[in-house]
Amino acid sequence: MNRDDLAALDSADPLALLRELFTLPEGMVYLDGNSLGALPRATAQRLHDVVTREWGEGLIGSWNTSDWISLPRRVGDKIARLVGAGPGEVVVADSTSVNLYKVLAAALSVAAEDAPDRRLVVSERSNFPTDLYVAGRLCAERGYELVAVDAPADIEALLPGAAVLMLTQVGYRTGRLHDMTAVTRQAHDHGVLTVWDLCHSAGALPVDLTAAGADYAVGCGYKYLNGGPGSPAYLWVRPGLADRFEQPISGWMGHAAPFEMSPDYRPAEGIGRYLSGTPSVLGIAALECGVDTLLAADEHGGLEAVRAKSLALTRLLADLVEQRLPGVFTVESPRADDERGSQVSLSCPEGAFAVVQALIARGVIGDFRAGGEEGPDILRFGVTPLYTRYVDVWDAVEQLSQVMESGEWREERFATRGAVT
Amino acid sequence: MNRDDLAALDSADPLALLRELFTLPEGMVYLDGNSLGALPRATAQRLHDVVTREWGEGLIGSWNTSDWISLPRRVGDKIARLVGAGPGEVVVADSTSVNLYKVLAAALSVAAEDAPDRRLVVSERSNFPTDLYVAGRLCAERGYELVAVDAPADIEALLPGAAVLMLTQVGYRTGRLHDMTAVTRQAHDHGVLTVWDLCHSAGALPVDLTAAGADYAVGCGYKYLNGGPGSPAYLWVRPGLADRFEQPISGWMGHAAPFEMSPDYRPAEGIGRYLSGTPSVLGIAALECGVDTLLAADEHGGLEAVRAKSLALTRLLADLVEQRLPGVFTVESPRADDERGSQVSLSCPEGAFAVVQALIARGVIGDFRAGGEEGPDILRFGVTPLYTRYVDVWDAVEQLSQVMESGEWREERFATRGAVT
């Protein structure tokens, strides 16, 4: 297999034309959409319109005339289509951290009522840190214990005493994919509620919260949803639980009638009560443009086609690394398709940070994640089927080979860490 | 006094040229900056640059190269100059509702340690609803009781048993201004911590949290700070309390070293731990443009000059209404300068909502707030000295007179309520 073979795959790719929906820097191979999605072409113009016409000219009246007030629900309905939820079941609000706090608090309130003797919240040590931090503090406040296991296999033994199982569907380090349906069934068999973080799965593969019977979910807007840096997040709750939702941050936007300005809180029915403060109009408008790029895939095979291409790209990347750089890197991501998200993580005995920097200097953008107790330092390469081409994977591995063969990664300029690494 | 006299005041106004920093629709008199500030001229270009260059070209690297990671602190430092706080004492984050939740939780944690027998949180029924909602739910969770008094005079009697006094410095309905220094001293005399909501005061008048000896404060970005619809909010804590801050929503951005990706939470020193999730880059960039319009007043007398003009404008508005429409409207805002924020609220026996709509149809933008148990329905007119002119006040009252004299407000088209009213 050579580069021409891959160019032929790109030519035959039914998703290829979706790349035109994005602005990508000339000559860059961007493999970090799992950290920050690329800029949709529509976003700059949409934001300009929101700023100059809706805000600048419409001013306060735009809450009605431009229907700003519906943005959290309207864009929530679009995201619902990506995660197997129904209309009216998802709202856009706050950050993933804040939303995780809300849904976990809600889950603990339900568990306290239904199973007061269960005092554990179970998660994984490899979960994204913010999930563990938020859960740890909230558990302490509510008299629960957070137990973060080392491996998925350790979860089952804890379920009999657990109130909530909180997992990220695709792990941020290695991209390991949980079988949401099987894990949820297992949890429910033990009477345990499930909280799913979809940050690294929604938009990269089909997610079906309803079919899985999941209980609560959150996700971010700035990775595969292409909403931009610090984009607002979203949350979902199984409709049957929505009215038992104890919203801990009971702000006015979750009120049944916020503009009555009553001093007494009366929560909105269902998902509406998950809102807290005034929604970020700029942020949600940008997020809508990002979500629209995914919905545009509907006419080209939808998320099933996205998933098929994602698996082909990650398989290709891992294969090429093993073929061209044998013994240099270890593929830390699962090789089995049904266990892998949309990224390939590599480790190497030394210099993972510097190797990533040297690669970035050559126009191939991956990222570095520090190891520690959770495992080795890693180089991460995310693929985003809407704009990643087969030839991009080839070019990335070609550049990686040159970085390693030249030894340039040892240059001092690649050792400097920024504030965000 | 006639319109020419007021035009002369505008000509002599040292702040007059700051109006050029804003884009205001031709022919509109905008008196709703207390609900949504006008669009700064710099914002559209700045956001375009953030979107197309920083995000579109810089992509993930912009967290370092465009220093996105510092935005919450950098813009926080600018806001600090408006509220009498020091550098490093304010961060931009989340919404007012979420921030209020955080600081009230922090205050309750300190109070629980220092004065465990005090179980009351005291506020006012006229406080902005979200403050009461958030506090009510949090109090219930923590075993406290929220007592919302009818009048400021009722506060003192409750202080001996109170843990926290939570007030909005300028009330949203009538614009009544609390003497923050006197009230804080009174609270501290009784061993009570103070939480101040600055949403309707910061940017409209000099606020000095340090001089007042206040304990916690929050405020929003979209009113007098001109940050745009749903702009992120900010929070402050007295430095002496910062390290006792129990961050309830302990997300990764409040970690001492977020990119270590440690599974264990170690809070940042001081104000940094108030951050929770990934900051809204678009929202904070827009907010910075808004805050810059206020800092531009520094060369023209600063917030003292802003306050002097604000008082002159609100006094003028109230005087003109009473002179030209005697017996038609009641001025619900305090007439004493030191008790009034930057707005004038009017009530009328009937049709407040329709009168506002008829006035909006004539290009004078105020807003309506429903009454209920808290008092009558009101028409609100906010003045924003950076862009409100003396002739604007004249023109607004002229149009209001015509609306009333013509009786046009009785037309059916002015009776329809939108989702946001």
d(CA B218, CA B166): 11
pLDDT number for residue B234: 98
> What is the band of B287 on the pLDDT scale with cuts at 50, 70, 90?
very high
> What type of residue sits at position A37?
G
Q: What is the pLDDT of residue A196?
A: 98
The pLDDT value given to residue B114: 95
Portion of chain B with pLDDT greater than 70, in percent:
100
Mutate to test the interface with A, among B60, B226, B384 (most CBs of A within 10 A): B60
Q: Is B243 exposed, middle or buried (0-12, 13-18, 19+ CB in 10 A)?
A: exposed
What is the DSSP secondary structure assignment for residue B35, as one 8-state letter?
Answer: T
Per-residue pLDDT at A25 exceeds 90: yes
Task: Say how far apart CA B331 and CA B318 lie, in whole Å.
Answer: 7
The mean pLDDT of chain A is 96
CA distance B282 to A231: 8
The residue of chain A nearest to residue B131, with distances taken between CA atoms, is: A251
Q: Tell me if residue A3 falls in helix, strand or coil.
A: helix
Residue-wise pLDDT for B90-125, tens only, equals 999 999 999 999 999 999 999 999 999 999 999 999
How high is the mean pLDDT of chain B? 96
Give A74 to chain B, closest Cα distance, Å: 14
pLDDT (average), residues A103-112: 97
Q: Tell me: pLDDT of B88 over 90.
A: yes
A197 noted as active-site residue? yes
Radius of gyration, CA atoms only, chain A? 22
For residue A128, indicate whether it is catalytic.
yes
Residue A88: phi and psi, rounded to 5, are 80, 5
Res B373 pLDDT > 90: no
For residue range B347-368, list pLDDT tens digits in order.
Answer: 998 799 999 999 999 999 999 9
pLDDT digits (tens, 9 = 90+) for B137-169: 999 999 999 999 998 899 999 999 999 999 999
The better pLDDT of the pair A372, A377 is held by A377
B364 DSSP β-pair partners: B29
Could you tell me how far CA A404 lies from the centroid of its own chain? 31
- Residue that is written with structure tokens 């350790």 in the block: A154
Average pLDDT of the segment spanning A341-354: 94
Q: How far apart are the first and last CA of chain B?
A: 34
Question: Rounded mean pLDDT of B227-231?
Answer: 98
Min Cα–Cα distance to chain B from A125, Å? 6
Q: Contacts of residue A171 in chain B, CB cutoff 8 Å?
A: none
Number of A–B residue contacts, CB under 8 Å: 302
Reported as a single tens digit per residue, the pLDDT across A42-71 is: 999 999 999 999 999 999 999 999 999 999
Instruction: Provide the percentage of residues in chain B whose pLDDT is more than 90.
Output: 92
Q: Is B137 helix (H, G, I), strand (E, B) or coil?
A: helix
Instruction: Evaluate if residue A416 carries a pLDDT over 90.
Output: no
Per-residue pLDDT, averaged over B19-38, amounts to 97
* Cβ neighbours of B373 in A, within 8 Å: 263
Q: What is the model's pLDDT at position A391? A: 98
pLDDT value of residue A343 = 98
pLDDT above 90: residue B380: yes
Q: What is the pLDDT of residues B288-308, one digit of tens each?
A: 999 999 999 999 999 999 999
Contact B193, B109 (CB under 8 A): no
pLDDT per residue as tens digits for the range A238-254: 999 988 878 999 999 99
Is A43 in Cβ contact with B44 (below 8 Å)?
no
Q: Stretch B339-347: mean pLDDT, rounded?
A: 98
Q: B15: exposed, middle or buried (C-beta count within 10 Å: 0-12, 13-18, 19+)?
A: buried
The residues facing B240 across adjacent strands are none
In angstroms, the CA A185 to CA B414 distance is 55
Q: Is the dihedral of CA B68, B73, B78, B82 positive or negative?
A: positive
For residue A51, which residues of chain B lie inside 8 Å, CB to CB? 39, 43-44, 47, 228, 286
According to the model, what pLDDT value does residue A20 have? 98
- Beta-strand relationship, A90-93 and A233-237: antiparallel
Nearest to B414 by CA among B371, B352, B369, B326: B352
When pLDDT is averaged across residues A92-111 and rounded to a whole number, the result is 97
ipTM of the complex: 0.97
Rounded to whole angstroms, the Cα distance separating B125 from B374 reads 7
Q: Which of A380, A387, A389, A392 is catalytic?
A: A380
Q: Do B372 and A262 touch (CB under 8 A)?
A: yes
Q: Does residue B57 have a pLDDT over 80?
A: yes
**Assessment of whether the complete model's pTM goes beyond 0.90:** yes
**pLDDT per position as a tens digit, B250-275:** 999 999 999 988 999 999 998 999 99
Q: Flag whether pLDDT at B374 surpasses 90.
A: no
Mean pLDDT of A112-121: 96
Q: Which two tokens stand for residue B366?
A: 């105020």
Structure tokens at A201: 């799965």
Distance from CA of B310 to the nearest CA of A (A): 20
The pLDDT of residue B242 is 86
- List, in sequence order, the alpha helices (H) in B298-351: 302-324
Residue B419 pLDDT more than 90? no
Task: Determine the pLDDT at residue A135.
Answer: 98
Cβ neighbours of B283 in A, within 8 Å: 230, 280, 282-283
Q: Mean pLDDT across the stretch B324-353?
A: 96
Contact state of A281 with B228 under an 8 Å Cβ cutoff: yes
The confidence score (pLDDT) of residue B418 equals 82
CB atoms within 10 A of CB B295: 15
* Inter-chain touch A47–B43, beta carbons under 8 Å: no
Structure tokens at B140: 């219930």
Instruction: Give me the pLDDT at residue A348, please.
Output: 93
Structure tokens at A145: 């214990």
Q: How far apart are CA A304 and CA A385, in angstroms?
A: 11
Query: Do residues A25 and B59 lie in contact, with contact meaning Cβ atoms separated by under 8 Å?
Result: yes
Q: Which residues contact B337 (CB under 8 A, 6 or more apart)?
A: B311, B315
Which chain B residue lies closest to A124 (C-alpha atoms)?
Answer: B263
In the predicted structure, residue A263 carries a pLDDT above the cut 80: yes
The region, left, alpha or beta by phi > 0 then psi within -120 to 50, assigned to residue B301 is left
Is A390 noted as a catalytic residue in this protein?
A: no
Three-state DSSP class for B291?
A: helix
Give yes or no for residue B218 having a pLDDT over 80: yes
Q: Tell me what pLDDT residue B145 has.
A: 98
For chain B, what is the largest distance between any 2 Cα atoms, rounded to a whole number of angstroms? 69
